[in-house]
Amino acid sequence: MKPEHPLVAERPLARHSAALVRPGPGPADLLPALARASDRMARALRGALAPLLGGEPPMVECAAPEEMSARDFAGMVPGLAAYSLYGIAGSSARLLSSIDAEAVLRLVDRAFGGPGEAPYPLPRELPLSAELMVQQIEAVIAARLAEAAGLMQADAITALRRDSNVEQLQPFAPEARLAMLTLSITEAGGQPWLLRIALPFAVLADLFGQNDRTSARPAPRGPADPLHAPYGDLPLPLKAVLVDMALPLSIISTLEVGQILSVPIARSVPLRVAGRTIAHGSIGAVDDRVAVQLTQLS
């Protein structure tokens, strides 16, 4: 069937706005914006990390952001490492950070009064004390990254879970394109350690694709309280030394079953944690159980 007249549209065809069909910002636009934000983050990290490093602000330097695949990022740390996965409020996007296990163990040793040395060889997995330290670092990273992105909402970025195996977290597809920040943190008189943060480019467009936002000045942070979490929940073995006597080798070599040894129990019993005496007490009884009443704190 052939129409008598040519077909004519009753109204003009719709035309898409050039602003709407314009492609989103690419790496050439996003990486410079991320570099500016990372400079702000590096400055904020100096004060935020100080309580975890004995109160002395470290030197924090940030290299230029790099573009890489998720597979390449996973292969950058060949040995044991602490990986943390973060979420953004109101978004399904994920961020990832990594710290070498040796650096974490040095921080743990410093936190417990040591010189800041890692054991050699390194353990096959991170101990509980290292996981508590990682949680502390996660809170610092999340807060400072949110400030650098101009996110004023409380808990805008939060840590979701952590693992020493990045494959267990499954943060991104292997070929996902990421922007990676590498921050070098150097303590006074110590060796530098690296903090790596990976952000998918889709997240970069949301966080840093707009014009730089002015971030609020971070609130002053006081020193960490050992009575509060996470260190307040760390179990430590406490020993009450009832008897500590010396016998000559000649007597020890002739000990026999049934022999009676005179054991002098001191009036002041020392209480020790990790070989260090923290208090003294006297022996007594409570509800048919031997008890120690504290008489002095060291």
Per DSSP, the residues of the chain read ---SS----SSPPP---HHHHSPPP-HHHHHHHHHHHHHHHHHHHHHHHGGGGTTPPPEEEEPPPEEEEHHHHHTS--S-EEEEEEEETT---EEEEEEEHHHHHHHHHHHTTS-S---SSPPSS--HHHHHHHHHHHHHHHHHHHHHTT--STTSEEEEEEES-HHHH--S-TT-EEEEEEEEEE-TTS--EEEEEEEEHHHHHHHHSSSPPPPPPPPP--PPPTTSTTGGG----EEE--------HHHHTT--TT--------SSEEEEETTEEEEEEEEEEETTEEEEEEEEE-
Report pLDDT digits (tens) over 205-256.
777 755 444 444 445 555 666 676 666 777 788 888 777 778 888 888 888 8
Q: What is the pLDDT of residue 20?
A: 52
Q: What is the pLDDT of residue 6?
A: 62
Tokens in use for 230? Answer: 């996470």
Does position 139 have pLDDT exceeding 50, yes or no?
Answer: yes
The single-letter DSSP state of residue 233 is G
Q: Which residue has the higher pLDDT, 19 or 188?
A: 188
Pick from 93-102, 157-166, 184-193: least confident: 184-193
Instruction: For the chain, give the percent of residues with pLDDT over 70.
Output: 83
The model's pTM is: 0.62
Does position 97 have pLDDT exceeding 80, yes or no?
Answer: yes
Q: What is the pLDDT of residue 140?
A: 92
Does position 11 have pLDDT exceeding 80, yes or no?
Answer: no
Q: What is the pLDDT of residue 8?
A: 56
Pick from 22-36, 91-105, 272-286: least confident: 22-36
Other CB atoms within 10 Å distance of the CB of residue 192: 14
106 touches 119 (CB < 8 A): no
Number of residues assigned to the chain: 298
Average pLDDT over residues 20-45: 75
**What is residue 102's three-state secondary structure?**
helix
What is the maximal distance between C-alpha atoms in the chain?
Answer: 127
Domain with CATH 3.40.1550.10 in the chain: 24-233
Q: How confident is the model at residue 165 (pLDDT cuts 50, 70, 90)?
A: confident
Domain with CATH 2.30.330.10 in the chain: 238-297
Choose the most confident range, by mean pLDDT, from 44-58, 104-118, 131-145: 131-145
Q: What is the pLDDT of residue 218?
A: 47
Fold for domain 24-233? Chemotaxis protein chec (3.40.1550)
Fold for domain 238-297? Surface presentation of antigens (SPOA) (2.30.330)
Report pLDDT digits (tens) over 166-199.
888 888 888 888 889 999 999 877 788 999 999 8
Report pLDDT digits (tens) over 33-70.
888 888 888 988 988 988 887 778 889 999 998 998 88
CA distance 193 to 195: 7
